[in-house]
């Protein structure tokens, strides 16, 4: 596995080593021991989810309260998505920054998204199927959303007609969410993830 930290701090892109032959392919898509090596802390897995979306569907930007915080480990097992992470941690040096990574069923890349970051994606194909592990079970009263079309964020979604849920269409802008006090606090996220003095420097890390 190859681990590369994104420009949104704490978020890692994971490239698996695929073993292919005439029968098909085999790969390791989640190795908690190797993930802990690069993040400096383990990821508990409390729930596994599957999301299937038609082309042009945009889901997100979603985040949860910290504490307790919800980390995610995401991959696309069918089709392709443009996966987006947004730094929503008030006090973070990168507050408001976002980065996009293509996840598909060819490269089979995964993303680790720590607590406090916003997450969303746009389906690039029909039946785009996203699988993700979560460190906390779903708790609606702890969940929030940011308008994925917020002009202040200016996320470059790869569709002219994004299809949104009613919840995401009605979500507040980043500025409104910050003013309301619902955004995660950076210091609380650092404590929650155990990052202080433990994480390795940013860069690419190799593994078996």
Among candidates 172, 167, 183, 175, which has minimal Cα distance to 58? Answer: 167
Per mean pLDDT, which range of 17-21, 89-93, 103-107, 196-200 is the poorest?
196-200
Residue 194: band (very low, low, confident or very high) from pLDDT cuts 50, 70, 90: low
Give me the residue spans of the domains in the chain: 2-198
Report whether pLDDT(56) > 60. yes
Distances (CA, A) of 51 to 75, 96, 128, 188: 11, 26, 8, 29
Give the rounded percent of residues in the chain with a pLDDT score beyond 70.
93
Report whether pLDDT(198) > 80. no
Say how far residue 174 (Cα) sits from the centre of its chain: 17
Selected catalytic residue, list 62, 73, 112, 186: 62
Question: Is 141 part of the annotated catalytic residue set?
Answer: no
Per-residue pLDDT, 204: 44
Q: What is the mean pLDDT of residues 145-163?
A: 97
Q: What is the mean pLDDT of residues 1-30?
A: 96
Q: What is the mean pLDDT of residues 116-134?
A: 97
Report whether pLDDT(136) > 90. yes
Report whether pLDDT(142) > 80. yes
Report whether pLDDT(208) > 80. no
Give the containing element (helix H, strand E) for 190.
Answer: helix 186-193
Selected catalytic residue, list 73, 112, 119, 132: 132
Q: What is the mean pLDDT of the chain?
A: 92
Q: State the Cα–Cα distance between residues 64 and 119, nearest whole angstrom.
A: 10
Q: What is the CATH number of domain 2-198?
A: 2.60.120.10
Q: What is the mean pLDDT of residues 34-43?
A: 93
Question: Is 19 part of the annotated catalytic residue set?
Answer: no
Per-residue pLDDT, 192: 79
Question: Higher pLDDT residue, 133 or 207?
Answer: 133
Report whether pLDDT(202) > 70. no
Residue 191: band (very low, low, confident or very high) from pLDDT cuts 50, 70, 90: confident
pLDDT per position as a tens digit, 44-55? 999 999 999 999
Neighbours of 137 (CB within 10 A): 9
């Amino acid at each position: 596995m190859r681990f590369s930290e994104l420009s949104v701090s704490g978020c890692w892109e994971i490239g698996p080593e695929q073993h292919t032959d005439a029968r098909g392919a085999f790969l390791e898509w989640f190795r908690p021991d190797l993930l802990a090596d690069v993040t400096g802390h383990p990821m508990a897995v409390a729930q596994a989810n599957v999301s299937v979306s038609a082309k042009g569907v945009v889901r997100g930007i979603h985040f949860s309260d910290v504490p307790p915080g919800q980390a995610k480990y995401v991959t696309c097992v069918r089709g392709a998505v443009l996966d987006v992470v947004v730094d929503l941690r008030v006090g973070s040096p990168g507050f408001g920054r976002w980065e996009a990574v293509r996840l598909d069923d060819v490269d089979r890349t995964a993303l680790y998204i720590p607590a406090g970051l916003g997450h969303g994606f746009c389906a690039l194909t029909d039946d785009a199927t996203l699988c993700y592990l979560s460190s906390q079970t779903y708790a609606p009263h702890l969940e929030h959303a940011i308008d994925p079309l917020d002009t202040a964020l200016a996320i470059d979604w790869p569709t002219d007609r994004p299809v949104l849920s009613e919840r995401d269409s009605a979500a507040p802008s980043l500025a409104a969410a910050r003013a309301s006090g619902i955004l995660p606090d950076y210091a609380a996220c650092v404590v929650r993830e155990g990052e202080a003095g433990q994480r390795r420097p940013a860069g690419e890390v190799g593994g078996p």
